[in-house]
Structure formats: C-alpha cells, structure tokens
Structure 1
Amino acid sequence: MKMITFFLVGLTVHVVFFISIFDIYFTSPLVHGMTPQVISLAPPASRLVLVVADGLRADSLFTPLPNGSSRAPYLRSVIEERGTWGVSHTHVPTESRPGHVALIAGFYEDVSAVAKGWKENPVEFDSVFNESRHTWCWGSPDILPMFAKGASGDHVYTYTYPAEEEDFASTDASKLDTWVFTQVKSFFQSAKSNSSLRASLFEDKNIFFLHLLGIDTNGHAHRPMSREYLENIGLVDSGVAELVSIVEDFFGYDGRTAYVFTSDHGMTNWGSHGAGHPSETLTPLVAWGAGVHNAQRVTGPQPYNDPYLQDWKLEHLRRVDVSQADIAPLMSSLIGVPIPVNSVGVLPLSYLNNSDQFKAESMYINALQVLDQFKVKMTHKKETTLSFLFTPYKQLTESKQEEFRHKAKTLIKQAKYEDAISMCQSLISQSLEGLVFYHTYDRFFLGCSVVLGFVGWTSYVALVILKTHTSLNRYPNLLRQNPNYTLWRLCMCVTVVITVFLFIQRSPVTYYIYCLLPVPIWYSVLKESATLTNLIHSAPTLPLWKCLGYFVLVAIGIELLVVSFFHRAMLTVGLAVLALWPFLSGLFPRAKFQTLSWFLGCLCLAVFPLMPVVGREPNIHLVTCAGLLTLFTSACYLWSSRQRTPLHLGSRQQFVAQMLHVAVCAYVPSLTHSSLQQKQGLPLLNQIISWTTLASSMLVPLLSSTRLFHRLLSIFLSLTATYLLLSTGSEALFPPVLSWLMFVWINIEQEAMIAQGVSGRQELSFVDFSANIDITKIRQLKLDDIRRSYFFVFFIITAFFGTGNIASINSFDPASVYCFLTVFNPFVMGGLMMWKVIIPFIIVMCTFETIQVATQLSSRSLFFIVLVISDLMALHFFFLVQDHGSWLDIGTSISHYVIVMSMTIFLMILSVVTHILTSRRIALGRRAKIHFP
C-alpha cells in the first residue's frame, strides 16, 4: 500500500511540475476588452480575395525553370508588372492552424489553444473575417470551421469538401484545389441570378477566402521536388488567373478588388513541416489590385542579405518582406475594416498605394490597436497585484502613452506624415515589448516555486532511498514527536500566509498549487532529517573515494545526456564509452562471450544517433532486411536455448506463428509502397493486417510462457512486427539491434553479480516473472546499482533519440503510417507515430524489469534511483528554459523540459504496464492453466 501511495503522490507531483511550464511559458497571449479602431478615411478596395496555397514554399513559386520560364506564369507576371511581392516569415510551429491564425487574426497562437482542438475549436479571438461585412470561404474542413464558429453574427459562410478527400494515397491530390476553383466559379455564376446574394456581393468590406490544400497534400505524399507538387503549383496559378478573370468580370472591372496570395507554411525537402528550417518558414506573398503598389524596379542593392534573389531572378524588382502576422493589418487596411483587436502585426506600408495621409492614419490606428492591448494587460496585472509590489513597465507609463498619442495626432494634422509614421511605429514597438513584460510578469515568482518543489522532491526521494534501501548504521532518531509537531505548526503557518497572499492578488487556482506544493514536500524532507544524520554518522565506515567517484561519473553522465538533447552524436560517444565498461570493470576474463557481444552491440547501436532523424529518403528494402534480421536473431536464440530450456509444443507453435507474422509485416510495407507508387491506393488486406497487428501487439505476449527469455522474446517479436509497419527505412533496424544489446545486458549484469559475490544466484533461463519473490533474498542497494540505473536512463534516452522521434516536430513523416491509413487525420496519425516512439521504450523497460528480478532487487529500489537521475535532468532543463532569442530557440528550450518531464511521468506509468506485460499470462482453456517452462 505504501508503494501505491508513493506512486500516486510521485505521479501527482510530476504532473504538477509538467503543467507548470504551460502556466509559466505557454499561457495565452490573448486579452479581451479592447475597442476596435476604425480609420475615418475611405479605403482603396471594396473587397478582398485571399488565396492561401497550403504548404507552398517561397522558392518553389519564385524560382524559374531551367529554360527561364516560370511554373506559375500568371503570378510571375503579376510580380513583374502590377503587384508587390516579398517573403512572409512564419513562426514556429509551422503548422496549418497557427499559420492561418497568424494570417487572418494577426497573432501567433499559443500552444494551449492548439491543443484544444483542430477543426471544431470555437474562435476565441478576433479576426479579419469577423470584422468584415461578409466572408465566403472554400476549402478544407480542418481550417475553415474555426473561423466561422464563434464569429459575431452570421456573416462567415464556409463551403468544405468531405474530410475523406484529404487522402495522401489519392491518385491526384490537386483535385482538392480544382474543387475549390470549381465551387467559386459556380458561386459567382449562381450569384448572377440570385438578387439577394448579388446585392450582398456588391456591398463593401467583403472577403473571399480560398484555402488550397492540394500542394500540401502532394508535398507530404510525394515530396516538394516531385512532379505532382510542382505541377500542382501550375494548376493553382492557372486557377488564380481564371479566378481573377471571373471576379473582375462579375464586378464590371470596377478596380475595387484587392488580391493577396500567400501560404501558411512551407515544407522540407522530405515532405514535412513544423519546425524552423528556412524551407518551412519562408513563404511567398504576392499582393495586387486596388490599393496595392504596382511592381517597382530597383537599380541598387536590395536590403536583404540572403542568396535567394539571384536564384529567383527577381533582384531587379523591389522585394518587401513581412512577418506573417503583418498580413492581417494589411488586409484590414485595404478594405477599411478594424484591425483584429488581438493582432500584433505591423502594417507593411510598402504594399500600400495610397496617400501619405492614409498611410499615416492607418499606422496611427494600428498603434492605437496594439496600445489598447497593452493597456488592458497592464490594468489586469495592476488589479491582481498588491500596490506596493506592482512594477510598471517604465518605457510606457500612462503619461508617456498620452504623450505619444498627442504628438502623433498633432504631426498628422500638421501633414508631417513621415514623422507621424515613425512615431507610431515606435509606439507599436514599445507596446509589444510592454505586452511581453506583463505577459511574463509572474514568471520568476512561479519559477522559484517550481524549483523549490523540484529540489524538495528530489531530496525526499534520495532520503527514502537511504532510509529503506541501504545498509546504513541505524542511530536513534533525533527528531522526536515534539519537534515534528513544531515543524507541522510552522508549515501550517507558511501555508496560511501563502494562501492569503495569493487570495488578495486574485491569483488563478494553479498558482495555489505551485506555491503550496513545496510546503508538504519540504515537511516530508525535514521529517526525514534523521536519515541524513545517520548518513553523516556512517560516513567513516563508507568507501568515500569510491562513492565520490561514482557520483562524479554519474554527474558527468547526466551532463552528457543533457548535451545529447542538443547534439545526438553525444549518444554515440556515450555508447562508445559504455562499450568499454566490461573491460574496465574486470568482467572480460570471466565473461568473454558476453563482453564481446556487449562491445559489438554498443558499437552497432552507436551508429543510429549519427543517422539523420529527418530528411531520410524512404528505403523499404531496409524494412524487409530488418524483418529478416529479426527472424534470424530469434531463430538463433531458439536454437541455442533448446537444450537449456526446451519449449513446450504450445510455446513452440506460438513462436513459429509470431515469426511468420513478423515475416508478413516485413513484406506489407513493400507491398503498400508499391501500390501507392502506382497510385492504386492502400490495399484493404494490408490495412486489416496492420490494424490487427497493432491491436494485438500487447496481448499476444501474454499468451507466452512467463519464463524470462521466452517472455522477452515474445514481447520483442510482437512489438517489432508493429514497428516494421510504421517504418520507411533504416529506423526499422533499430529495435532488433536494441533488443540484441538488451539481451546481452541482462546476461552481463548476471555475471557482474557473480563477480560481486552476491549469493542466491539463479540460472537466468529458469527465472520466472510470475513466481512469488522470496523476500529473504531481496538485497539492499549497492553503489553499483547507481550504475545500473544510469544505464537504464541512458538507454531510454537512446531509445528516444536513436531514430525518428517527436523532439523535432518536422521529423513526422506521413509515409510512416501509410500501412494504416492515408486519409489525413492528425490525431490518429499522431497517435500511431507516438506508439512508434513508445515501442523502444517498452523494450528497454522490460529489460530493466528483468534486471531487477535477476539482480535480486525489489521492484522499486532501482526505480527510485532512476527517478532521482531523471529529476536532476529535468531540473537542469528547467534552468535552460529561455524567453529570449529566436522563437525556435525559445521553443526548443521549452520542448526539452517538456520531453524530460513527459518521459519521467511516462516511465512511472510504463513501469506498471511492463510489470503486467512480463509477469501476467492469459489463460486460454484448460491447457493454458498448466505452467509450462
């Protein structure tokens, strides 16, 4: 019962630490209560057409063909003759939803909002669509609904195709774009005979939004350099040309239509997106029509240092780059609607072809709109902070705000438009900095609370290890009941003070949790201070130099693991060092075969961190080779173990069936890949085999014998079969190599136990996971167990970073799930990819469970050490979290902490799962009730 209580408490503590990072760094930047700002001057356009080519890279559109022509001749002619062009720089994550939110709402969506939902999440922010008189949208059911649901009034109309059409195995994904263009054409055709619709269309402040998903789908399925992707760009170009003709014809060429063509994100060469590679963050922007500058030729050097202009052959035309959020105020200005109140975009004046007065007034409105957000944020923080503790943003006090506004307005009245624009841009910059200041106002306070809890929890676990799992000399407990009672009263007083303080400041409920959690943790630590006293008294009897050496080596090892998050090659260095361990520890003379196997296994596994996580070309032949390697190693084991632990007929039949199943799963990816290449779709039989394999992967091992190696082999075969179906290349070789090393690790740890003179050793072949543990044979922890625990943490990190993983968002390759489904479904696909990441975890966890049994330790003692090592890593990453630098640097530092904390929580849960997976057996009929070896 105590272990269950400790597990639940530990899980709760780590969940709180995990969630804290979202309150500290991932809170929503949105504020509410601002008043929309409207320009008094007439806008240049009555309507706007927004075309978003999902997944279109800037270089794919702008780079001409080898013969000098363009794959997008219409848009090229717009760039060269009657429009303004540039690059729109996106933010991480470069995904469709945050990209469209930045384009249409003008701010960069927080991660917590993305996690709420993809399709049906109600709009909790203002947008250009919401401010328009009418907006008509055509395109994907994954994007359009979030801008329609929650919009004030009923003026955003969406037309979407069925979600099933978003099929990566489609013979022609460009049909998604053809559908959109066809629907728009029919829409304007029907409007000619529909008087009410025609009247609405001729009103001002209207928007037409075309979301084109074909390019993105073809990029995922065939890569951005493929014929399908590039031809889809040509189809979009001709569709835009026809669209402009239809719109101009319908409105009688009145010159009141503005056009904006852009993309939500780009795509890597290997067909993924989500991170910060230039191929993902550089997207095209082309604007033309009413209120937009015509093409402007330049003779001098462009104000951009990148090498792209020469490749694009556009160095003679003025290029105007923007941040993606800047497009929202540009669209608002063109049709005269208020800039979305949550926008942090800055109006790109270089795109506007209007009077200096209009530009100055528009920039002034932009400044007021951003300033309003700052004022609301400041007021809210001031109201929820004690007056003597409140620190204002000194660069933008209330007096300075009023001074800014007055000067800018005066300059506009005096027709000093350039000066007014400069002052407004300065005000916007100050307001944005002030928003960040108040948005991160409580960050230091919350961070200190979390660190205090972290240190307390790690100290408590260390004291529990010393108290319950070591052989320290016992001395009388120096902390009697009276001091404990005094300590309890002190903690209660601290709790009351913290609660009152947070209540006065009207802090959120989560603040109470973060600030109060350290109190019971440190109460528990101080209660165990006698254990520390015992350690001090026992110090003279301990091998201090050996202890110090172990702790120094583990500290260096932890630093190596931390660095490996930034440089995966450090795992190769670590594995090379681990390969020498048996030689350095003196195990080689007594276990030569195991030592050489360990050495070769470490070196083979060391190759994988040197291989690219992303950008790999699919190589289905390697998947087939991985299947053959799995069959070979399994057959060798069964053959070598036939004398020591003969298999019963039922077990033999199960292993033969599992091996045949692996052979089938090794062939299914090849068959699926061939079918998709021929554009014949996903074969139904392959899909049935894949889903059946996935569903049975955790059940089949429960049918096998609970003898140690038999059960481990069954788990390995079952999980590898699923992993093969989720592989596209060299990563399929990772589980067989990892499993080989894990089997060797079990054997070599047994030899290490003999070398240490531990009695009661059993022959591993006869160890049974389900047998009742003889408590009298459970030993106390020794220094060498720290090394075992570190090895486990190291292999867990290697299992995570050794091959494709979620550390980089753009490592996701949709081709990995094509054996299961090809229709776009982000949550199912994400779940399958997560299971692929988990499979190596389970292999390592089952090995660790085995080592605890084989080395005669309780199921919790080694895990306690693992918990301390993991928490030290997490605390290290907590200090590495940064809120400055590039968006990618900030996101990376936060994601590392999230990964380590998620892994710690996951390992606590997975330890229970692996215990069941190794020690339980499903009884099928009477025969299954007999325990066979």
Structure 2
Amino acid sequence: MLLFFILGLLVHFVFFGSIFDIYFTSPLVHGMTPQFTPLPPPAKRLVLFVADGLRADALYEFDENGNPRAPFIRNIIMHEGSWGISHTRVPTESRPGHVALIAGFYEDVSAVAKGWKENPVGFDSLINESKYTWSWGSPDILTMFAKGVGGDHIYTYSYDAESEDFGAHDVTKLDTWVFDHVKEFFHAARNNQSLFSKVNEEKIVFFLHLLGIDTNGHAHRPTSREYKDNIKIVDDGIKEIVSMLEHFYGNDGKTAFIFTSDHGMTDWGFHGAGHPSETLTPFVTWGAGIKYPQKVSVQKFDDAFLKEWKLENWKRQDIHQGILPIDYLNNTDLFRAESMFTNAMQILEQFKVKMTQKKEAILPFFFTPFKLLSESKQLNILRKARSYIKQRKYDEAVSLCKELIHLALKGLSYYHTYDRFFLGVNVVLGFVGWTSYASLLIIKSHSNLTRGVSKEVKKPSHLLACSFIALGVLVAFFLLIQDCPWTYYIYCLLPIPIWYAVLREFGVIQDFVLFVLTFPPSQLVAYLFIFTLGIEVLVLSFFYRYTLTAGLVAFACWPFITQLRTQAKSISLSWIFFSLLLAVFPLMPVVGRKPDIFLVMGAGLLVLLLSLCVVTSLLKRKDHFINEELLLHLVQMLSIVLSMYVVYTTHDSLLKKQGLPVFNQIISWITLASSFVLPLLSPTRLFERLFSILLSSMSAYLLLSTGYEALFPLVLSCLMFVWIQVEQETLRQPSVSYKQKVTSLQFTCSPDITQFRQLYLDDVRRAFFLVFFLVTAFFGTGNIASINSFDLASVYCFLTVFSPFMMGALMMWKILIPFVLVMCAFEAVQLTTQLSSKRLFLMVLIISDIMALHFFFLVKDDGSWLDIGTSISHYVIVMSMTIVLVFLNGLAHLLTTKKLELCGKPKSHLI
C-alpha cells in the first residue's frame, strides 16, 4: 500500500505537470530577421506615463462639483491629441499589462509560474530597441524590462519596496517621488554635458510608472476620496512634467506623449479577472506624429460612457493592448501603409520561424502544414501589398497587411498547439488507466465484492508482458527519431505500465462484472444516476457556486430517506439546521466586496459563547485533568479576544491613516504561530481535541477576515461535529459488534488495525461527503480560481507593506483553515466508523480523478483569456486537491493524535 501511494503521488505529479507542458508553454519565437520601416519617424523621443490601476471611467468622469477630475488631460483631449479606451486582457495584472504596452504582445503565460515578476523567457521590447531609456517608479515593473538586456542604455530609478505600504498615511508619495526625481534629472542634465547629449539623441524613451492610484485603490477602494484625489495629483504632476519637457527641448515638436494604464480595478479594490472595470483603461496621446482632436456628431460606440463623460463630440478611438493603433498617427498615408507592412512582416517572420522549428522536429509524412497561409499565399499577399503601396493605394495595402497579420497569428497559434491533441490523448489514457487500476485495487483488497480466488496472486501472461514491452520500445523509438522533449517520453510511456497493471487483474474485472449483474437493473441505474449526478454537481460548483447550495439542501433532506429521522431525531435536526445554514454562504457575494468588521466581531462573540458552554461543562466534571483543560480553554478564549481587539483597532487605525500598530502586528504573528501549537496541548479525546483545533483556527481566521467569511469556519465546524455523530449512527453492518460513544473515543497515533473493516457501498457516500465538503471549503466564501476573489485587506493585521509572497502565503493559510477543519473531522469519522484512512482515501482519489478528467476535457484554448485561464485553473485545483490531500491528511493526523507535554509533568498524567 505504501508503494501504491508513492507511485500514485508520482503519477499525479505527472498529470499535474502535463497541463503546464500542454497549455503553459511560452509562445514567444526567437531568431527572426529584424524588420524596419524605411521612413523616418515623426518623433525623436517618447514620454510614457502609466498610471497603474487607473480605470477609464475614474479619469474621464466629472467630480461631485461638476468639474473634470483630470482637467489637464481633458484639455489635451479637446485641444491637442487623441483619446480612447484601451481594452486590456486577462490576467489584468501589472506585469502582463506593461508587457503588452511596451513589448507589444500579450503576456507569456509561462510567467504565471514566476508570479508575474520575472522573465521566464527573454523578449524584445520598445525599451530594448531604444537608444536610451530612463525610467522611474516601482522596482517590480522597471527591473523586468532591464533584466537580461545587454549594454548600458537602460537606466532605472526606483524607490524602496517598503514604500508600497497599503496602510501608509499618504501613498500619493509613490507618484510625487517619480515627478520630483524626473525634475531633478532634467535639472542635472542642464549641468552635465554627457547627460545633456544623451537626452538629445533620437530614439529615446522616458517611462514614468505611477503606482499611487493602484495602491490607494487596494487600500481604500476606487470609489474612495483617496483614489480620486490621487488622480488629480497625477494630472497636476503630468502637467508640470510636460511643461518642463517642452521648455527643456525648446518646443521643438519632436516629443510624443502617451498617458494610459496597465489595468483597471473593481469596485472592491482588486484586479486580475475580466470585469469591465478591470479591462477598460484610459488612453490619451498627443505630440509629435499624433492626430489632433477630431470633432464628430455621431460615434460608433453604443455605450453610455460618452454622454456621461461629456466627450460625445470628440472622436473616440479604442485600441487593444499590443496592436499598433495606426488611426492615431498624424502622418502621411505612405507612412501608415509602410508601418503596417513592416508590422505584417514582423509577425510573418515569427510564423516562418515557428513553422520551421515544428517541421524539423516531425517526420515529413506526419507533418501537416497550416493550409490557410502557404508559401505561395504569403508571397502573393506581400507582392500585392507592395504593389498597392507603389500605386498609392494605401488603404488597400493597409487592409491586405491586416489580413496577413490575422492569418500569421492564426498560424502561430496552430503551430504552438500542434502537439496538444497528441499529448492530451496520452494524458487521458493515463488518467483512465490509473482510475481503473485504483478502482480494481479497492475491489480486490478492501471489499467483499469478489470471489476469494480473485484475491490470489496470479502470474501475468508472458504474452501480455511481452506485448506491452514491445509497445513501449516502439513508442520510445518513435519519440526518439522526432527529437521530442524528455517530458513527452513520460506522457507517452506512462500509460503503458498502468494499463498492463489493469489488464493483469482480468479476474477481478470478471468478478466485479458478475457482482454488478446481481443488482436489479432499476437499482443499478439509480446508483449510477445518483453517483453521476453527485459528480456533476461537484464539477458545476466550480462554475456556479450556488450549486453547492443545492447540494447542501439535498444533504439536509438526506435523513428523511434513511432511518436517522427515527433513531436519532436530535442529530437529524442538527444535521438539517447546519446544512441549511451552511447553504447560505455560496449565495453570498465573493469575499472582499463589502467588508464589515462588525460581522467579524460577531463571529468572535459566537465562538466565545460556545467556549463558555464548553467551560461550563468542564467545571461539572470531577477529574484531575480539569485544571489543565480549563487553563488551555481560557488561554484560547483570551486568544480569540485578542484577535477581535487586533482586528477592530487595526481597522480603526487604517481608517485614520495611522498605519498598522506594531503591537497589533506582534500579537497577530504570535497568535498565528500559537494556533499550530495550542491544540497539541489539549487531551486527545475526540471532542476536546476537535474543539481545541476549532478555537485555535478561529483565532487565526478572525485576523484574516474582513466580513461575513469569519462565520464560515464556525458553521462548517458545527456541521462537521454533527457529521461525526451521523456517521456513527448510520454504521449498521453485521461485522461491527461494538460501538463506543463519540464522547469516549480518543485519537491515537497507532490505531488498532484489527478493528478496521472492509469497505461497504455506504462508504462511497462517505467519501463523496468528504469531497463535497472540501469543495465547499474551496468555494464557500469565494472563487479561488479567480485572483480577484482575494482581499488584500485580509492580511492587514499582519503587514501592510506590499509583499506578494508573504501576503500570498497568509491568504493561502486562510484558504487552508477550512480544509484542515474538514480533514480533522474526517479523521474522527474514520475512527467512529472503524474504517481505514487508506481505504477511504482511495475512493476520494477516484472521485477527484474523475472530476479532474472532466476539467481536462473542459480546458479551452480559444475564446477570451478569462475563459482559458479559468478552465486551466479548475484543472489545476482538482489535481492539486489529490496531492494536497496527502499533506492535509498528514497535518490533520498530527493535529488530532499528537500531544505535547509540559516540562516536568508526571507521566501518570498522560491521557
């Protein structure tokens, strides 16, 4: 069994990693011939202002007094330049947005493994191609364009990462720091001949990254006064910088200005997904080579923004990040046509390199070229486009170049995903084989469903073994001659031994089929229908949280179709009540949208009230353990009170812009650390240990809560306590002759394996309940498949300075706490039902693998990035569930069975 679990873990790591090899590979191509526009550019220098986290509506709208929120930018729109909305793409994060703006392509998805902070693959960019670039702003953004770049033509000036403090009194200093240092830089340039000559070169870029708006949005929400006032500060700062630059360069008319944003932000202060408030960002440009404002009477946009912003008479031109917006250019038609022709050639070069790479790696008779863009068609389009330019048919040339770009991009996608179907088939074969083998192992070793003869070890057929060995050699040879990556060998060869293990159990398969045929057809259909319906509900809950509500309502009705309603009325009523109460949470909005500290306080008071009831019951007991238990409960109650105090005072301090109090920060970290230790000091009696785990978990969870979610683990734990009692009541098997009371049971490190029983059909339901409760822990208070479900305010009791990895770890622990509570309850269920954890875990493994297979088929590689990213994250979550369950099971076993003894305590006091 140990060998099986080790192999199973390795197999699931392979299946988990396959999604990155199939979908998370870099689409970037290297080795192209550079392409250049033959005509001189209209501007010598570019000044790029990027207001991080700025929404389009927040910039363009009027304030409460009817005045423009950004008067300088509005003046540019009306008198000097062009404007529109930039449509960003998912993931709406700072790094992908800046890569699209500066490098001209949508983010390399393999960067997700680096947390959007590092360059997994080198790429070219506007900054890299410049003669000189000077940039000011956040170290996270500036360094990614300077890292790995040869030469010394890129200069970055960043403030300390500690300056990005969400709890600071005034975070607009992140923007004023940039403006002040830019002014100092140009003042120094006047007195430094070397620097003066550099800033007067051609092809130079000044990049100003402004993070204050984003930080204020996270800390106070985009509807706050802080966020809106920060926009005015940015507007004033840009006005000063523009005036200074025009004076410095003597109004030579050779400077182009762009003001935009990398992404927007939701009303609740987050970004990452595809909500319009996250994807609609402002784009305003003026200066050399940019069209002047164009007055129009009718516009093509049918949204209500234009009238709301009072910009319906100024032509709006929307753009998409990463695509050359030639309609903004104020130049000759020849220049526009040549620019599009160069752009088309650049993308066509990428297509050619990608096609050559794939063609060289595949046997000629297996290679299928992209038929929509053959070599003859490429030459034909290029010849026509060049002919149109010579004939001064510039619009026709631009149109033809856009068609070529469209076809080349489709071709790039075709070759990038060329091996996807082949790899997918092999992964599915491995999936189905592994699930089949795990099912056969349960039937053979842990149930009474087969005849005794099937459990005898039989030698596999030599012919079968030789056939699979020959197949493996053939597959390996096929991959070798095509020079495939080493991971391809794993995906293609892994199904072979798995299916060999399945087919060698042919006798078990026969016995199981005979057993299934003993069921009446109607009963068999009913079992299959219920099982399939349960799996589909679990799958649908990843897309629609409210399906969990439907499932919990069905759970509440369960006692009515069993004997529980008559043999355990009080337990049945408790089960119904807490199932319906828990069913409310998936109907609530995602955590973070409406923070309410008073709900957190209410959750803490309920925990204290419950603790008082337990303390009262302890005082009624008369044994020598009472002092120890009472002291521990009082310490844990004090921890709850301190957590409530810290949450309330931290929230009040941040509202007053006084930052995070050091005392609160110390108490928070101590409470979090003690939450791992205090449960180990409690007795190992089932109820006492589980209640101690709940108190310690709640003290940490309260510190990480901002609203109603603080009630979630409490309600979930109450249902888990009832579940333990329900499972003991439902255990009515002939082999179980003795049943202890739940209150007298103890967790033990080495359970008596002689008390374990074989699996029964009802154990499938128990395994399903566990998976359902785990999925409820996933989506009960939010959708962790979407990054904007997280609320950074939930970690403000621990730190306010931006630290993505530390904040991510804290939020991950917040997510894991409900999992730990469920897994600890599962330990108790195994104890009360006399069932081996290994046997029940095997059924959980099969259920989660069936779900994972669903999501593997539901993975999308077309449509919006939101659809693609969500489908991939669902698969990753389910695959992670199987792997993480091993860790959680070990953690739950540690929390429930281990006991720390205080120094000097006599051994006679051991429980």
Bin of the TM-score, shorter chain as denominator length: over 0.9
Quick one: structure 1 residues 150 and 772, their matched pair in 2 at CA, closer, same or farther if it must change by over 3 Å? closer
Q: Distance in 2 between matches of 1:472 and 1:617?
A: 53
Quick one: structure 1 residues 787 and 119, their matched pair in 2 at CA, closer, same or farther if it must change by over 3 Å? closer
Shift of 1:377: 0.6
Q: Distance in 2 between matches of 1:480 and 1:779?
A: 22
Shift of 1:75: 0.3
Mapping of residues 305-704 of structure 1, within 5 Å: 305-326=302-323, 347-477=324-454, 483-539=460-516, 546=523, 548-614=525-591, 616-640=593-617, 647-704=625-682
Quick one: structure 1 residues 897 and 258, their matched pair in 2 at CA, closer, same or farther if it must change by over 3 Å? same
Q: Distance in 1 between matches of 2:683 and 2:783?
A: 32
Other-structure match for 1:729: 707
Quick one: structure 1 residues 354 and 471, their matched pair in 2 at CA, closer, same or farther if it must change by over 3 Å? same
Would you say 1:23 and 2:21 are equivalent positions?
A: yes
Mapping of residues 31-180 of structure 1, within 5 Å: 31-116=29-114, 118-119=116-117, 121=119, 124-180=122-178
Other-structure match for 2:759: 781
SS at match of 2:367: coil
Q: Distance in 2 between matches of 1:748 and 1:394?
A: 63
Q: Distance in 1 between matches of 2:520 and 2:868?
A: 44
Shift of 1:281: 0.3
AA aligned to 2:270 is: S
Cα deviation code 1:866-892 (max 9, x no counterpart) = 111111111111111122222211222
Does the aligned pair in 2 maintain the 1:550–1:783 contact within 8 Å? no
Q: Distance in 2 between matches of 1:504 and 1:928?
A: 70
Other-structure match for 2:692: 714
SS at match of 2:169: coil
SS at match of 2:265: coil
Does the aligned pair in 1 maintain the 2:735–2:757 contact within 8 Å? no
Cα deviation code 1:278-337 (max 9, x no counterpart) = 00000000010000000001122x1223222121111111111111112xxxxxxxxxxx
Shift of 1:543: 7.0
Q: Distance in 2 between matches of 1:915 and 1:316?
A: 68
Shift of 1:529: 2.0
Would you say 1:297 and 2:275 are equivalent positions?
A: no
Does the aligned pair in 1 maintain the 2:82–2:285 contact within 8 Å? yes
SS at match of 2:837: coil
TM-score, length of structure 1 as denominator length:
0.95
Quick one: structure 1 residues 893 and 481, their matched pair in 2 at CA, closer, same or farther if it must change by over 3 Å? same
Other-structure match for 1:331: none
Q: Distance in 1 between matches of 2:438 and 2:192?
A: 74
Q: Distance in 1 between matches of 2:415 and 2:154?
A: 34
SS at match of 1:43: coil
AA aligned to 1:282 is: L
AA aligned to 1:70 is: P
Residue 761 of structure 1, aligned match among 716, 735, 739? 739
Other-structure match for 1:868: 846
Would you say 1:207 and 2:205 are equivalent positions?
A: yes
Does the aligned pair in 1 maintain the 2:618–2:626 contact within 8 Å? no
Which one is further off, 824-833 or 478-487?
478-487
Mapping of residues 835-850 of structure 1, within 5 Å: 835-850=813-828
Q: Distance in 2 between matches of 1:797 and 1:182?
A: 51
Does the aligned pair in 2 maintain the 1:38–1:365 contact within 8 Å? yes
Mapping of residues 909-920 of structure 1, within 5 Å: 909-920=887-898
Other-structure match for 1:888: 866
Quick one: structure 1 residues 688 and 805, their matched pair in 2 at CA, closer, same or farther if it must change by over 3 Å? farther
AA aligned to 2:84 is: G
Does the aligned pair in 2 maintain the 1:594–1:744 contact within 8 Å? yes
Other-structure match for 1:234: 232
Shift of 1:546: 4.7
Does the aligned pair in 1 maintain the 2:143–2:156 contact within 8 Å? yes
Does the aligned pair in 2 maintain the 1:705–1:931 contact within 8 Å? no
SS at match of 1:258: strand
Q: Distance in 2 between matches of 1:538 and 1:477?
A: 13
RMSD: 1.8
Other-structure match for 1:339: none
AA aligned to 2:310 is: K
Cα deviation code 1:6-38 (max 9, x no counterpart) = 222111111111111111112111011012211
Does the aligned pair in 2 maintain the 1:98–1:114 contact within 8 Å? no
Other-structure match for 1:802: 780
Shift of 1:714: 1.1
SS at match of 1:732: helix
Other-structure match for 1:748: 726
Which one is further off, 144-153 or 728-737?
144-153
Identity of paired residues, percent?
A: 60
Quick one: structure 1 residues 119 and 451, their matched pair in 2 at CA, closer, same or farther if it must change by over 3 Å? closer
Q: Distance in 1 between matches of 2:64 and 2:187?
A: 39
Would you say 1:196 and 2:194 are equivalent positions?
A: yes
SS at match of 2:66: coil
SS at match of 2:53: coil
SS at match of 2:4: helix
Shift of 1:265: 0.3
Which one is further off, 476-485 or 503-512?
476-485
Q: Distance in 1 between matches of 2:177 and 2:862?
A: 44
Shift of 1:192: 0.1
SS at match of 2:612: helix
Shift of 1:439: 0.9
AA aligned to 1:319 is: R
SS at match of 1:203: coil
Shift of 1:651: 2.1
SS at match of 2:286: strand
Shift of 1:644: 7.5
Shift of 1:243: 0.5
Quick one: structure 1 residues 397 and 21, their matched pair in 2 at CA, closer, same or farther if it must change by over 3 Å? same
Does the aligned pair in 1 maintain the 2:742–2:832 contact within 8 Å? yes
Q: Structure 2 unaligned runs (5+)?
A: none
Q: Distance in 1 between matches of 2:414 and 2:241?
A: 45
Cα deviation code 1:899-933 (max 9, x no counterpart) = 11112211122112211221112233242744545
SS at match of 1:34: coil
Cα deviation code 1:97-150 (max 9, x no counterpart) = 111111111111133223225555477100000000000000001110111111
Does the aligned pair in 1 maintain the 2:591–2:709 contact within 8 Å? no
Cα deviation code 1:377-399 (max 9, x no counterpart) = 11111011111111111111111
Does the aligned pair in 2 maintain the 1:645–1:765 contact within 8 Å? no
Q: Distance in 2 between matches of 1:532 and 1:756?
A: 26
Q: Structure 1 unaligned runs (5+)?
A: 327-346
Quick one: structure 1 residues 204 and 35, their matched pair in 2 at CA, closer, same or farther if it must change by over 3 Å? same
Shift of 1:740: 0.6
Q: Distance in 2 between matches of 1:98 and 1:431?
A: 22
Q: Distance in 2 between matches of 1:637 and 1:648?
A: 12
Quick one: structure 1 residues 768 and 351, their matched pair in 2 at CA, closer, same or farther if it must change by over 3 Å? same
TM-score, length of structure 2 as denominator length:
0.97
Quick one: structure 1 residues 76 and 19, their matched pair in 2 at CA, closer, same or farther if it must change by over 3 Å? same
Which one is further off, 155-164 or 885-894?
885-894
